[in-house]
Structure 1
Amino acid sequence: MPQYFPTINKDQMRLPIYLKTIGIHYEETIVNRPQGFPSFQWIQCVFGEGLFQYDQKEYTIRSGQGLFIYPHIPHSYYALEKPWITNWVSFDGYSIKTLLEGLHMNKTGIYEVLNKPLLESRFHECFQLATSKGIYENIETSAFLFQFIVDIAKHTEPLEKVSLNNHKNKLESVLKYIEEYYSNEITIEQLAELVNVTPQYLCVLFQRIVKKRPFEYINQVRINKSKELILTNRTTSIATISKKVGFESPSYYGVQFRKMEGMTPGQFKDLFD
């Protein structure tokens, strides 16, 4: 488990990015930092499992995941499954915050590693370069760290985004069902059963991803379908069309149409006469 803690001199501190510490295949124990750590950290789980505590929350960190921790953020972590093996690197510099903002890594968080072999190799390359003791060692390490951080951003995904994508995949089948069966009676219970979640949780998914309640979305689909029918079935009454798209009450259909389109179904029809 090689580790390196370079002595930081004034020349290094003038660099846009400089290395503070690095460790390869390190067996983690118990770390408790109520005042945080003074530098930016990337900790990547190689093997085992650990618990990361931050912002009054707990996260299980497994192989293929990493932690990006901002300076002075109170946190702690320890092994859940021993040995818990990680690679870690810490860095600082006057351009770090600007770089991270450009990469949308604006806060402490947990990340899913999408290319483990690449980032594993970056740790070894960085360690070798930093310990080479060459004339331009500090400058070369600084340039390499810049690319290393870019690679972390390119080849990881925030866990909250991965979770959101999983939710989107789950909701996709519900949206397809609505698109196909909008003219039938649809209940929240039916939709929840499709994806094996509770009706309450399905409502949460809709609000989070579609930004609408389930029946708001269903009504929107029905209104859109009714507009198509109004334009392609000119002699069919508005009341008949409302029933064809799943509205039991023509008057309720009229209210929803006006709410969404800013006009009545009849006024919409007249626009194309």
Structure 2
Amino acid sequence: MTQPWPHRRIAFSLSAEQSLPIIVESIGLNDDQEPISRPEGFPLYHWLQTMEGEGELSLGGHSIPLPQHSGILLPPGVPHSYAASSARWETMYLTFGGIAAPSMLASLGMQEAAFFRWERDSICGTLLLSMLERLESVVDMFGLEASIDAYRFLGTLSKFGRLHQNTSVQRNVEKLQPLIEWMEQHYGNPAIGLDDLAAVLGISGRYLSTLFNQTFGVSPYGYLIHVRLRKAKERLIGGSACTVARIAGEVGFRDVSHFVATFRRTVGMTPEQFRNLH
């Protein structure tokens, strides 16, 4: 059984060596990620990845699931918020700047907000943890080792982390926005299928699946399930006395057993346990 990583955090002063191409501000691990809201964005580049559990990031008014083996790079000043969508969400993060950071990221095709996924055994999942452990054990007075490690991490992520090449999350979200808004209105219809979703945008089901996997790392129907579960959570903690069976029907599940099984698998607890917890 995998043991949870201990909570660790390390920070580096931006004044250490301003001439470095990449300056690491902080790198850390949070074994129980708390909700974060940044209406003005973060002043530096911010990488966030899931180690265990699952989170949800809000970007441009839309929700992006962050399951295990995935992460997102946010440029400075991009408004966003994120929170756990499972019982416990373990994350790692890297924040950085530097005079050459914008040009380096542009050369790697990473100048805009970008979502990454990788295989279970990929080095992308452990490289940041190795970097953290190395920086904890070595006194890096000028931030040089951190700068080198950060560039190595970003290069590895660009090479091995993308499922599809050079696809901007924000650009795809604009394409998908009408459908995402449609899902928010019609999630309660249990008869919705891939063809119905594709028809909203007037494209093929295959192309729609490609767009969703590039942008969110899930299928269109998987995203719809994500919407339904979010709506179910709102009802469960909204002070309503509705039964779980009624909520299941209201959010688009044909039967309560399927709803409970899906909720438990995704959130890590039953709907009743979730309601009692909150």
| Shift, 1:27, TM fit | 1.7
Mapping of residues 1-273 of structure 1, within 5 Å? 1-9=7-15, 11-114=16-119, 117-134=122-139, 138-157=143-162, 197-198=195-196, 200=199, 203-205=202-204
| Shift, 1:208, TM fit | 5.7
SS in 1 for 2:152: helix
Give the residue type in structure 2 aligned to 1:119.
C
Q: Percent identity?
A: 20
User: Deviations along 1:115-142, whole A, 9 cap, x unmatched?
Assistant: 6541233212221333344366621221
| Shift, 1:64, TM fit | 1.3
Give the residue type in structure 1 aligned to 2:146.
T
Moved more, 97-106 or 136-145: 136-145
Structure (1 or 2) with the greater strand fraction: 1
| Shift, 1:47, TM fit | 1.2
| Alpha-carbon distance between aligned partners in 2 of 1:29 and 1:49, rounded to the nearest angstrom | 12
SS in 2 for 1:128: helix
Gaps of 5+ in 2: 1-6, 173-192, 209-278
Partner of 2:238: none
Aligned length: 178
By relative contact order (CA 8 Å, sep 6+), the higher-ranking structure is: 2
C-alpha distance 17-202 of structure 1, shift in aligned 2 (>3 A)? closer
| Alpha-carbon distance between aligned partners in 2 of 1:24 and 1:113, rounded to the nearest angstrom | 19
Contact 2:74–2:112 (8 Å) recurs in 1: yes
C-alpha distance 146-208 of structure 1, shift in aligned 2 (>3 A)? same
Contact 1:45–1:65 (8 Å) recurs in 2: yes
| Alpha-carbon distance between aligned partners in 2 of 1:149 and 1:50, rounded to the nearest angstrom | 22
Greater gyration radius: 1
Contact 1:49–1:62 (8 Å) recurs in 2: yes
C-alpha distance 136-64 of structure 1, shift in aligned 2 (>3 A)? same
The alignment yields a C-alpha RMSD, in angstroms, of 3.1
| Alpha-carbon distance between aligned partners in 2 of 1:123 and 1:21, rounded to the nearest angstrom | 12
C-alpha distance 60-116 of structure 1, shift in aligned 2 (>3 A)? same
Task: With the length of structure 2 as denominator, give the TM-score of the two structures.
Answer: 0.56
C-alpha distance 12-114 of structure 1, shift in aligned 2 (>3 A)? farther
Contact 2:33–2:90 (8 Å) recurs in 1: yes
| Alpha-carbon distance between aligned partners in 2 of 1:15 and 1:68, rounded to the nearest angstrom | 20
